[in-house]
Amino acid sequence: MNVVIVGTGYVGLVTGACIATGDHEVTCLDIDEEKIAALSNGVIPIHEPGLDALVEQGVAGGNLAFSTDADAVVPGADVVFIAVGTPAGLNGQPQLDAVFASVDSVATRLGAGATIVIKSTVPIGTNSAVSDRVREVRGDDEISVVSNPEFLRQGAAVSDFLNPDRIVIGAWDEESTQRIIDLYASVIDDSAPRLATDPPSAELIKYAANSFLAVKLSFVNEIADLCEQTGASIAEVTAGMGTDPRIGNAFLNPGPGYGGSCFPKDTSALLRASQGAGAPSRIVAAAIDANRTRRRHMADRVMVHFDAGTTPVVAVLGVTFKANTDDVRESPAIDIVHGLMRAGATVKVYDPEGMEGARRAIGEDPLCGSVEEAVEGADALVIATEWDEFAKLDLRAVSERMKGSMLFDFRNIFDPSDAAEAGMTYYSIGRPIRN
């Protein structure tokens, strides 16, 4: 098929590069001329493992191209994916301006029988609104609109796309559903479950899935706090929970709270939708509040160990919201840095991939060029993101560079006994203190 991807952000670029591995011709379309020029020259604007090689492969094979010219690429398309951003507004509702602008741009250019696929995360009812919009601008019913939500984890997006645990297709007619199934046939193995449903259900599946995971994370963080007050070990508790197949092991790792571009936005959107529909989700509301409170107070866990009026030097390793991405949006690590700075600490920050985002979020002064520079002379060390690079640190060498000995492992990446052997006083999440 001839496929056009509107939007070259995280979802659009991954989608385009992965679909190009099949028997399709893919063009990624964007209004950002500078970004398209960079992509055409092999410069990938985001850090996502495996994506650069996939883009290079697609371009070299002639299956993947980049353009700003809608007139040139849209008319011949069989399928157009809308993969533009839907940022949360002040009221928590997703902003759909870019979605409808994209629909307006492609609807009149498409030939009869083409399909528009909404890949962006959008509220329930968007498919119907887009369908109405398409009929309005075209004056006919010759274009179908399908919902096909993405379930990509940053840091594993390429693998998630090519080896999905499910493909959700929301359409009102079997022909449109089959077209998307056929599209994926040469890209994704047949073993991946295809769930064909109606558009409202497909839209809600995305929000419900992410909100459930956010609830799970907030729950395990509260259990970790209970462990700290009772002497229990969160590692033992979650091991016992995870063996129950009704619960599973995923998303049972405690930490400083969830962040990123999806969970905060999607939980807020589901909450607003539920309130608007007269079926308010109190559980999601509680998870949002618990996460917000947790992130706000993580810095206090460090500063409580220093006398008021002192200016401790605190090294913070990690600013991205998770490992294997350069995304600092809604990152708990950024909240920790801001909290430490407000409390009077001198903060030194390092991250393997997130320094540009950190520069925008916290400024230039706290940034360091290496782990060694960050920990040199520090009174305390905070692990804020679970990068493998940090988990492999020689803690004894780190301790020797530091002035103090406190290690706050907010991702539980170290064995407490290893930290103790390195001469460090070790604080983690939900585990006994070791020194």
In the DSSP assignment, the letter for residue 95 is: P
Beta strands in 254-317 (DSSP E): 313-317
Of 122, 44, 119, 111, which is closest to residue 73 (Cα–Cα)? 111
18, 28, 227, 262: the active-site residue: 262
For residue 412, give the 3-state DSSP assignment: coil
Alpha-carbon span 416 to 431, nearest angstrom: 8
Both tokens assigned to 186:
């040469």
Alpha-carbon span 372 to 160, nearest angstrom: 34
Which residue matches tokens 């992509």? 39
Q: With contact defined as beta carbons under 8 Å apart, do 373 and 315 qualify?
A: no
Alpha-carbon span 148 to 187, nearest angstrom: 15
**One-letter amino acid for residue 296 of the chain:** R
Rounded to an integer, what is the distance from CA 298 to the centroid of its chain?
21
Beta strands in 130-281 (DSSP E): 144-147, 167-170, 194-197
**Burial classification of residue 388, based on how many CB atoms lie within 10 Å of its CB (0-12 exposed, 13-18 middle, 19 or more buried):** exposed
- Looking from the CA of 122 toward its CB, the CA atoms found within 13 Å total 28
Which residue matches tokens 């909404």? 118
**One-letter amino acid for residue 390 of the chain:** F
Both tokens assigned to 323:
């490992």
For the chain, how big is the Rg over CA atoms in Å? 24
Q: How far is CA 122 from CA 199, 255, 303, in A?
A: 11, 28, 40
28 is catalytic: no
Give the active site residues: 262
